[in-house]
Amino acid sequence: MKYCYGNWKLNTSLKLTCMFSETPELKNVELGIAPSYPFIPIFKETLPSQVKIGAQNCSDKLKGAFTGEVSANMLQELEIDFIILGHSERRHVFLENNEIISEKIQICEKMNIKIIYCIGETLDQRNSQKTNEILKEQLNILNSLKNTIIAYEPVWAINTGVAAKKEDVAEAVKFIKENVKHLGNAKVLYGGSVNSKNCNEFTEICDGFLVGNASLTKEFFDIAKSLDN
């Protein structure tokens, strides 16, 4: 089984439901999207059942006086299929560290919610030959792979239009799988300016994609089809 998930970030619109009127039949690919919180119930009702609906984040708290937060148990009541945790924008814009992300992971694990766990290095870290060190630090907070898929997203390739080189992704995926093999057989996705023109380069070296901008159009389906063989 391969995986193709779309992270819609702060771009969700009800108009986007229209593109799923022609959802392709995929035999070996799980297709999913993560819209903004308010749209989750509507999309659960209107999108084809084969399209998994997830959340882009959750709180590290379950209840209390935390204005603006959305907890994992609230999302579970909405019957979401997965939650994205550790995305680089959460780490670098909202200053979430491994400790906070670890709390979220533990909550989701206890609730049996599928996790898409994002890891990746910045350009400065790569240029300083610290890629493996950073990835290992981010991987060390995992205690199980039972309900977790890892997404390798080099920060310097996100939202830049410049994907990583095939050999760099292959090396990172190999390193990730090797470092968590004591937990089981890891599924590792690639994310970072994935589009219909470059996706074929990566289909054989990863277990799928976490797609950003290209998931907002029908190009998303072309990317998913590239995995379906």
Is 153 annotated as catalytic?
yes
Model confidence pLDDT, tens digit, residues 57-92: 999 999 999 999 999 999 999 999 999 999 999 999
Is 178 annotated as catalytic?
no
Does position 159 have pLDDT exceeding 90, yes or no? Answer: no
Lowest mean pLDDT among 35-44, 47-56, 143-152, 162-171: 162-171
List 30, 87, 96, 219, catalytic entry: 87
Structural domain total, the chain: 1
Does position 164 have pLDDT exceeding 90, yes or no? Answer: no
Does position 181 have pLDDT exceeding 80, yes or no? Answer: yes
Tell me the CATH number at 22. Answer: 3.20.20.70
Q: What is the pTM of this model?
A: 0.96
The domain of 45 spans 2-227
What is the per-residue pLDDT for 179? 97
Lowest mean pLDDT among 11-20, 158-167, 209-218: 158-167
Does position 152 have pLDDT exceeding 90, yes or no? Answer: yes
List 30, 96, 121, 153, catalytic entry: 153
Q: Give a three-class secondary structure readout of the chain.
A: CEEEEEECHHHCCHHHHHHHHHCCCCCCEEEEEECCHHHHHHHHHHCCCCEEEEECCCCCCCCCCCCCCCCHHHHHHCCCCEEEECCHHHHHCCCCCHHHHHHHHHHHHHCCCCEEEEECCCHHHHHCCCHHHHHHHHHCCCCCCCCEEEEECCHHHCCCCCCCCHHHHHHHHHHHHHHCHHHCCCCEEECCCCCCCCHHHCCCCCCEEEECHHHHCCHHHHHHHHHCC
Does position 162 have pLDDT exceeding 90, yes or no? Answer: no
